[in-house]
Copies of this chain bind each other. A is one copy, B any other.
Amino acid sequence: MNLSIRNQLPGAVLEITHGEAMSTVRVTLRGGQEITAAVTRAAVEDLGLAPGQSVTALVKSTEVALATGPLSGVSIRNQLPGTVSAITSGAAMATVEVAITGGELTAAITQAAVADLGLAPGSPVVALVKSTEVSLLAG
């Protein structure tokens, strides 16, 4: 199966918190980082997710933001440090490849942000992903 979602991070379920409509699922990635996904409770039940289960966290490139350092005091649960490996610039948008521990991430951000942050191959960055933007693939 081929999927346009560029970011596919393998890991295992650590903990699940159920609400009535939504659930949050904490996942330990293979690289050792932790990531939280906010998904519908119906999805968690249909997938039969449970602690220990293998899952792949899926994140669209357009949902990844970049900071030039760690960000404290922010509601964004997922922060993955890495290094810029490549940048493709368009007129309005750019895609930035980031090497993280145990994998690679793509961020689609505005070209203006690339310029303002002075991003270039080798730049240290922290990739930021809101929990509501993380989907989970079982197995």
Binding site for B on A (CB under 8 A): 1-6, 17-24, 36-44, 47, 58, 60-63, 65-69, 71, 73-77, 88-95, 106-114, 116-117, 128, 130-133, 135-139
A65: chain B residues at CB < 8 Å are 3-5, 60
In the bound complex, CA of A43 to CA of B138 (Å) = 25
Given A92-B89, A92-B94, A93-B93, check contact A137 B74 (CB 8 Å).
yes
Q: How many copies make up the complex?
A: 3
Closest to A137 in B: B74
Query: Is A40 a contact of B38 with CB atoms below 8 Å?
Result: yes
6 other A-B residue contacts (CB within 8 Å) besides A3-B65, A39-B75, A88-B92: A2-B117, A4-B114, A5-B128, A22-B24, A44-B75, A92-B108
Closest to A97 in B: B112
Tell me what chain A mostly uses at the interface: helix, strand, loop, or mixed.
mixed
Query: Is A40 a contact of B89 with CB atoms below 8 Å?
Result: no
A3: chain B residues at CB < 8 Å are 65-68, 71, 117, 128
A38: chain B residues at CB < 8 Å are 21-22, 40, 132
Q: Which of B67, B92, B135 contacts A93 (CB 8 A)?
A: B92
A43: chain B residues at CB < 8 Å are 75-77, 131
A75: chain B residues at CB < 8 Å are 37, 39-40, 43-44, 47, 135-137
